[in-house]
Amino acid sequence: MKKSSAITAVHGRQVWDSRGRPTVEAEVRLASGHVGRGMAPAGASKGRHEALELRDGGSAFGGLGVTQAVANVDGAIAAALRGADGLDRDAVDRLLIAADGTPNKVRLGANACIAVSMAVAHAAAAHEGVALHALLAGERVCVIPLPEIQIFGGGAHAGRRIDIQDLMVVCPGAASFAEALAWTAEIYGAAGEIMGERGQLAGVADEGGFWPAFESNEAALATLTQAIEKAGYRPVEQVGIALDIAASEFGRDGRYKLALEGRTLDRQDLVTLLMDWVGRFPILSLEDPLGEDDGEGFALLMAQCGTSLQIVGDDLLVSDSARVREAAVLGLANTVLLKPNQRGTLLEVRQAWETAQAAGMSGIVSARSGETEDVTIAHLAVGWGVPQLKVGSFSRSERMAKWNEVLRIAEALGPDVAFAGAGALKQG
Ligand code: PGA
Ligand code: ZN
C-alpha cells in the first residue's frame, strides 16, 4: 500500500532575511508528527515575469512587510492543505497553485507559497527518514553541482557602482566540489588583497562579493582575471569567469545605458561589446546578457557563440516552463537559471528544469540576493541533477550555509559520487 501522512498544520511566521528585511517562514506538520520548515528568499533585480512577491506596502519597512503573506499561510493556504497527503508533494503543490488560482501567485504571494512548498518537502523527507536531496532524487543518480561563486558584486546589489551585476568564478579544472571551493577561497582572498593594496577595499555588496570600487566594467574584469592568476590558477583551463550582466536593469527595447561609461548602446553594440570581453577575458558563461524582453538580442548572441559559451536566462526565463520552451524553440539561451521563488512552488520550477533538459538545455539552481539560512536549494541542485549551483559569494553565512551543506551532502553520498565539473559548461 502507498504510504501517506496527512498535513495536520500549516503555520506562517515573519522572520528576517540577510538584508534585514521581513520574509516568510512556513512550518508544516504531518500526522506522523514530522515537521518541515521553509523560508522565502527575495530578489533585488527581479524579472518582470516573475511570480509576485506579496508585500504589505505602506510606510513600515519601506513597504516590504509580509503581514498579509504570513496571514495567507495561516489562512487560505492552511485551509487548502489541511488533510492532504504531505508525502505526495506534487499534489500538494497543485493544491497551492489552485488555492492561488492566478498564473503569477498574485492572490496568495509567491513568497508565501514557496515557503510552504519547501516546508512540505522537508516534512516529507523527515517522515521518510532521508535527506531532502535523496527524497528528490528517488531512483535518479545524484550529481554534485559545479559551484558558480561571486567575487565582486555590482549592479543593483552595489548601488549600481558598476553595470555588471555579478562577477563570478567557475572552476572547470577542479576535481571535486570541495576542491572548487578551496580554489575559490584562494581567489576570493587574492581579490581582497589586490583591492587592499590599491586602497579600493570598501566592504562587500549584497551577496558578499567585494564592493566594486572600479572605474570601468573592464577594470573589474581585469582585476578578477588578475586575482585568478595571483591565486595560482590557469585562466579558462582551471578557472573561468561567469558574468551575470543583468541587462534588464539598464536596458529596455533593445537600448542599453551603461551608466559607468556614460554611453547608450543598441543591442548589436552590446553584443559586440560582450563578444569583445569574451575574446579578451577568460569568460565561460554570460547570464542575462541582454534585457528580459530583448529576444532579438539573445538570438543574435546565441547565433554567434551559443555552441561555445554558456548563455543563461534568468530574468528572461524566470524559471517558467513555457518561457523555457519558447526560448529553446527560438534559440535564445542554452541554460536556465532556476530560482524557486520566481514561480512559488517546487513543482513548477522542477517542470521548468525538465522542459530545459528535454530541449537539450542545461540548468543552474540559484539563490537570491536576499537570502536566509535556509539551505533547501543545495538539496534541489543535487536531488534534481542540476549541474550548477549559484549562491552568491564566498562570505556571509547565508551564502556559506549553502556551500557547506553541499559539502555535507557530497560526503554523505560517498567518494564515488559524480561531480558535474567541467562537463557542466559544455554546450550541445
Ligand atoms: P536577485 O539577483 O536575487 O537580486 O534577482 C540574483 C540574480 O540575478 O541572479
Ligand atoms: Zn541573474
Q: 109 with 147, same domain? A: no
Reply yes or no on whether the pLDDT at 1 is more than 80.
no
Write down the pLDDT at residue 29: 99
Q: Do 97 and 202 fall into the same domain?
A: no
Task: For 142-164, write each residue's pLDDT tens digit.
Answer: 999 999 999 999 999 999 999 99
Please check whether residue 138 lies inside any domain of the structure: no
Given a cut of 90, whether residue 427 has pLDDT beyond it is no
CATH number of the domain encompassing residue 96? 3.30.390.10
What count of other Cβ atoms lies within 10 Å of the Cβ of residue 138?
7
In a domain, 134, yes or no: no
Catalytic residue numbers? 207, 339
Quote the pLDDT of residue 417. Answer: 96
137, part of any domain: no
In this structure, are 203 and 83 located in the same domain? no
Rg (CA), the chain: 21
* Domain's final residue, options 129, 152, 167: 129
Mean pLDDT of the chain: 97
pLDDT band at 261; cut points 50, 70, 90 = confident
Q: Does 203 lie in the same domain as 112? A: no
Residue appearing with cell numbers 551577496: 207
3-state secondary structure of 366: strand
Average pLDDT over residues 169-176: 98
Cα–Cα distance measured from residue 380 to residue 382, given in angstroms and rounded to the nearest whole number:
6
Ligand nearest to the CA of 207: 1
d(CA 315, CA 99): 26
Let me know the angle formed at the C-alpha of 94 by 91 and 97, rounded to the nearest 5 degrees: 160
- Domain count for the chain: 2
In a domain, 2, yes or no: no
Domain that holds residue 305: 143-424
Distance 392 CA to ligand 1 centre (A): 9
- 290 Cα–ligand 1 center, Å: 15
Is 135 domain-assigned?
Answer: no
Bridge-based pairing of strands 146-153 and 166-170 is antiparallel
Pocket test for ligand 1, best of 292, 339, 343, 388 (most atoms within 8 A of CB): 339
Residue owning the nearest CA to atom 7 of ligand 1: 368
State the CATH number of the domain containing residue 195. 3.20.20.120
Residue 411: CB atoms within 10 A of its CB come to: 12
Residue 375 lies inside a defined structural domain of this protein: yes
Confirm if 211 and 150 have CB atoms less than 8 A apart: no
Closest by CA position to 243, among listed 311, 302, 186: 311
| Whether 100 and 123 share a structural domain | yes
**Backbone torsions φ then ψ of 419, nearest 5 degrees:** -115, 125
Predicted TM-score (pTM) of this structure:
0.98
Predicted confidence (pLDDT) per residue in 43-84, tens digit: 999 999 999 999 999 999 999 999 999 999 999 999 999 999
Residues 109 and 150 in one domain: no
pLDDT of 254 > 80? The answer is: yes
Q: Say what the pLDDT of residue 67 is.
A: 98
Which run of H or E residues covers position 121? helix 110-128
> Helix crossing, 110-128 with 89-100: angle to 10°?
160
Residue 136 forms part of a structural domain: no
Quote the ligand 1 centre to 156 CA distance (angstroms): 9
The stretch 272-299 carries a mean pLDDT of 98
Last residue of a domain, one of 129, 155, 176: 129
- Supply the pLDDT for residue 2: 80
Strands of the sheet with 22-30, listed across from one edge: 7-16, 22-30, 35-39
Coil vs helix vs strand at 418:
strand
341 confidence band (pLDDT: 50, 70, 90): very high
C-beta 392 within 6 A of ligand 1: no
Query: Are 122 and 237 in a shared domain?
Result: no
Say how far apart CA 418 and CA 413 lie, in whole Å. Answer: 9
Residue 335: which residues within 8 A CB-CB, separation 6 or more?
285, 310, 311, 312, 313, 356, 361, 362, 363, 364, 388
Tell me: do 213 and 271 sit in the same domain.
Answer: yes
Nearest-atom index, ligand 1, CA of 47: 5
Strands (E), 66-130: none
Residues 75 and 149 in one domain: no
Question: What's the confidence (pLDDT) of residue 329?
Answer: 98
Angle between helices 177-197 and 397-413 in degrees, nearest 10: 150
Q: Which tens digit of pLDDT belongs to each residue from 346-381?
A: 999 999 999 999 999 999 999 999 999 999 999 999
45 Cβ closer than 6 Å to some ligand 1 atom: yes
Give the pLDDT of residue 260: 86
